[in-house]
Structure 1
Amino acid sequence: MRNYLLLAIIFTTLASIVISCQDARQVQQDMYYTNGRDLYIAYCQNCHGANGEGLAKLAPPLTDTLFLKSNKKKLACWIKNGVSEQMIVAGEKYEGKMPDHNFANIDIAQMIVYVTNTFGNKQGNYTQNEVAADLSNCN
């Protein structure tokens, strides 16, 4: 009887360990998110706000999930090369210029993961390889 009880305890312990573990992709997304948050605070928050609310008519909010989804392939280009074109976000026009930033692809990926998974957005992971592909298509 003692052996069965010991096996049951071991099985229960192992099962709880396996259930609580995240897969590698989720761990990567969580790391990107955390690093992206730090980069956002340092480089983006002054204009886009602590809550992604934007800055008057100069910097658009980052709370419009549909805008972010439909422009996800452009985000890396905008972060790397800046933006000077007019944008319409959530029905409002924004004409401020976003400066360019010479970030590494990993930094851009991390910022995009943070922005697209914060402020009411839930768009999942975004990798360095996706950044590289999107940057190769910048205008």
Structure 2
Amino acid sequence: MRKYLIATVFSCVLATIIYSCQNAAQVKQDVYYVNGRDLYIKHCQNCHGSKGEGLGTLTPPLTDTVFLKENKQKLACFVKNGIKSPITVNGQEYEGTMPAFPELYDIDIAQVMVYITNSFGNNQGMYTTEQVAGDLKNCKF
């Protein structure tokens, strides 16, 4: 029993040290990621899937890192305003309409973007509310 207690205390201390070694930017990204996951489940998962795999030829997957990187400035526009025209991802054309989510605030969109761009095989780092605000000002539809 004593060995178990010592091991448990040691594990807790080690976890505290490791967590405290994270910088503030990483902690913020982690918070955005977790909140973004919840928003993704609520607003996006029905069409894009629990693993970002998409829905056949109707909804594109979110697993194409190249597409996400090349279109990073458009992602906030896609979420806020939806998509009404065909979109090509990884050589496949998708004609399904993506609904708009005008009720989402800039921070909500930033959090969803952090989740999407750091899940499903993607690893693209932070996406801030300032980036969302700037990207939304430049939307071209």
Tell me the TM-score normalised to structure 1 length: 0.86
Partners in 1 of 2:54 and 2:73 — Cα distance?
21
Name 2:127's counterpart in structure 1. Answer: 126
Name 2:113's counterpart in structure 1. Answer: 112
The Cα shift of 1:17 comes to 3.2
* Deviations, residues 84-129 of structure 1 (Å, cap 9, x unaligned): 1111111111010001102000000000000000000000000000
* Deviations, residues 54-108 of structure 1 (Å, cap 9, x unaligned): 0111110000000000000000000000001111111111010001102000000
Name 2:50's counterpart in structure 1. Answer: 50
Partners in 2 of 1:129 and 1:54 — Cα distance?
28
Partners in 2 of 1:118 and 1:18 — Cα distance?
22
What aligned pairs does 1:1-139 form with structure 2 within 5 A after superposition? Answer: 17=17, 20-102=20-102, 103-139=104-140
Deviation above 6 Å: which 4+ runs of structure 1?
A: none
Partners in 1 of 2:135 and 2:90 — Cα distance?
24
Q: Percent identity?
A: 61
Partners in 1 of 2:50 and 2:90 — Cα distance?
18
Matched length: 125
Measured on the aligned residues, the alpha-carbon RMSD in Å equals 1.5
Name 1:3's counterpart in structure 2. Answer: none
Partners in 1 of 2:17 and 2:80 — Cα distance?
41
Q: 1:108 to 1:19 in 2, by over 3 A?
A: closer
Tell me the TM-score normalised to structure 2 length: 0.85
Partners in 2 of 1:92 and 1:86 — Cα distance?
10
Partners in 2 of 1:98 and 1:83 — Cα distance?
5
Q: 1:101 to 1:17 in 2, by over 3 A?
A: same
Q: 1:85 to 1:27 in 2, by over 3 A?
A: same
Q: 1:82 to 1:19 in 2, by over 3 A?
A: closer
AA aligned opposite 1:38: D
Q: Which runs of 5+ in 1 are unaligned?
A: 1-12
Q: 1:82 to 1:21 in 2, by over 3 A?
A: same
Partners in 2 of 1:113 and 1:134 — Cα distance?
15
